[in-house]
Amino acid sequence: MNLTEIFFRKPLYELNKEDLELFFQEEQEENSKLEFKSGDVGIEGIYKEICSFLNTEGGILIIGSPKETTKLLDNGVKIKICKGQLTPTQFRNRDWLMQKISSNISPPPNGIRIKDIFDELGSYFIIEVEQSQTPPHQSSDGTYYIRLERDSKPAPHGLVEALFFKRQKAKLELRTTISQKENLKHEISISIKNSSSFPTEKVSFSINFYNVKSLTELNSNSIPVQQNENNSIVISHTSDVVLWKGLEIVVKYDIFHKSQPFLVNINCWSRDAEIIKNIGLYDPISNSIIESENEYTPNKKGYEYYYNLLNSLINTAG
């Protein structure tokens, strides 16, 4: 689930003016992932907020929100809130705004999505910003910004250095596809790719199959396959290939199964990259994934959950 669905319960590109009006019927406070700008904001202020989201944990920027007011709480604390009538901007459209952002933030960011909404009074924008994989980003005023609770602040020198170091890490991506070949045979293809510009070596992976009869390798890698007594098959390997951006390691196997669901558990890592995981249950009868998760999935259930679910499915099938 992306941030727009968390705050609005709708995908970004399905939002309309009525959704914004409904949202601001209630008092809304800014937070570490939510920033409001009324329609009279200058374009330079947009660069600052987007940079802070890119350099921290991502967030949503709404342009055309109600004007901010101050509210005094019972304990004497003052807070800033937005509520009431929207204030449209005269910014042109999504393409114009995206071009401005790309030209005035360095390096040009990826992972930005913009929804533009128009009426007779002007325009409104919801900008969804992902945390950057290539920080730090610098605004047009020469400053690196980070998000601290409700505000965007200049990043101290030490943090800027740390963000540059974060950029110099490999980032592995794992993709798995399973397709039917015959009644009791499916093919699995596993791709490991380095999506960063930083090369990495000693890429290792471990693949565990449960409730399959046997495997046949379709590559010429001659990777050892270990058949265990607990009805599982394990493949472990460390590649000598140095992965640069865009390069990938692909392994393929024919899976001979029992016409029952089987479990695939994949772990992948390298000398310079964090471990990534992919685990799921596959039903060869319906040719579909029963349930799966990867490194981006919140509230991970863990291997034991899938193991128990697999056994219950087998027992139910008789």
294: containing domain: 172-317
Per-residue confidence at 195, pLDDT binned at 50, 70, 90?
Answer: confident
- 146 with 202, same domain: the answer is no
- 154 with 275, same domain: the answer is no
Where on the phi/psi map is residue 295: left (φ > 0), alpha (ψ -120 to 50), or beta?
alpha
pLDDT mean over 48-62: 95
pLDDT mean over 219-231: 80
- 160 with 183, same domain: the answer is no
Instruction: Give the whole-angstrom CA distance, residue 269 versus residue 207.
Output: 12
Per-residue confidence at 295, pLDDT binned at 50, 70, 90?
Answer: low
- 255 with 151, same domain: the answer is no
**pTM, rounded to two decimals:** 0.59
- 46 with 128, same domain: the answer is yes
CATH of the domain at 91: 3.30.950
- 70 with 214, same domain: the answer is no
CATH of the domain at 289: 2.60.40.10
Encode pLDDT of 94-133 as tens digits.
999 999 999 999 999 988 999 999 999 999 999 999 988 7
Residue 179 φ/ψ, nearest 5 degrees: -140, 150
- 43-69 CB burial, b ≥16 within 10 A, e <16: eeebbbbbbbbbbbebbbbbbbbbeee
Q: Computed from CA positions of residues 284, 285, 287, 290, in that sequence, does the dihedral angle turn out positive or negative? A: negative
- 139 with 192, same domain: the answer is no
pLDDT mean over 223-245: 86
- 187 with 87, same domain: the answer is no
CB distance 49 to 61 below 8 Å: yes
Instruction: Give the whole-angstrom CA distance, residue 236 versus residue 39.
Output: 57
Q: Which of 27-31, 37-41, 270-274 has the lowest mean pLDDT?
A: 270-274
- 258 with 194, same domain: the answer is yes
- 7 with 147, same domain: the answer is yes
pLDDT mean over 280-298: 81
The torsion angle over the Cα atoms of residues 187, 1, 148 and 65, rounded to 10 degrees, is: 140
15 alpha carbon, distance to own chain's centre: 21
Report pLDDT for 307: 82
Q: Is pLDDT at 301 greater than 90 in this prediction?
A: no
Instruction: Give the whole-angstrom CA distance, residue 297 versus residue 57.
Output: 16
Give the SS3 label for residue 287: coil
Report pLDDT for 299: 55
- 55 with 105, same domain: the answer is yes
Instruction: Give the whole-angstrom CA distance, residue 295 versus residue 277.
Output: 5
Encode pLDDT of 15-37 as tens digits.
999 999 999 999 999 999 999 99
Instruction: Give the whole-angstrom CA distance, residue 240 versus residue 2.
Output: 37
Give the domain-ending residue among 103, 137, 167: 167
pLDDT mean over 276-284: 91
Give the domain-ending residue among 133, 167, 201: 167
Q: What percent of the chain has pLDDT over 90?
A: 62
Cβ-based neighbours of 93, under 8 Å, separated by 6 or more: 116, 123
What is the residue-averaged pLDDT of the chain? Answer: 89
Q: Is pLDDT at 318 greater than 60 in this prediction?
A: no
Give the domain-ending residue among 167, 187, 202: 167
How many domains in the chain? 2
